[in-house]
Amino acid sequence: MTPRYHALVWIDHLTAKVFYVGLTGVDEIVLHSHLSTQHLHHKANSIDSGKVEDDHRFLDEVADTLSHSGQILIVGPAGEKAVLHKYLQQHHAKVAKGVLKVDNCDHPSDHQIIALAKHYFKFDR
């Protein structure tokens, strides 16, 4: 297993993929949310916002997974990456200090995510 200092998180409302990147290799951990439903579309004539509530247990699991990382890049589609960053700032300040950047990244393959992490953390040989 590689040291877990450099981490890239790809997150949406259902899944977080955490990639630990080092000179000797890459480790991946996949975490899943605990939502009661995966259906998030707003129904016509409904009074609620149509937005799913934040899954704090899921966000805490992501934070715990990142607790030994010193440099963190958070990417993903839509707003969940910003939700994670704000949650880290409010509830896991030590982890939040390691966040270097929050950036848009739709649905790349694992190889594309790893390439992004290696490029960002300057691990190109």
Burial level of 106, CB count in 10 A (0-12/13-18/19+)?
Answer: exposed
Confidence category of residue 78, pLDDT binned at 50, 70, 90: confident
- pLDDT tens digits, 20-52: 998 888 999 999 998 765 555 545 545 555 556
**Whole-model pTM?**
0.84
Domains of the chain and CATH, by start: 6-32+54-120 (3.30.420.60)
Better-scored residue on pLDDT, 5 or 54:
5
Q: What is the pLDDT of residues 85-123, one digit of tens each?
A: 999 999 999 999 999 999 999 889 999 999 999 889 886
**Whole-angstrom Cα distance, residue 89 to residue 15?**
20
Interatomic CA distance for residues 4 and 70, integer angstroms: 8
Q: Look up tokens 């934040």; give the residue.
A: 54
Whether the predicted pLDDT of 125 surpasses 60 = no
d(Cα 87, Cα 108) in Å, to the nearest integer? 24
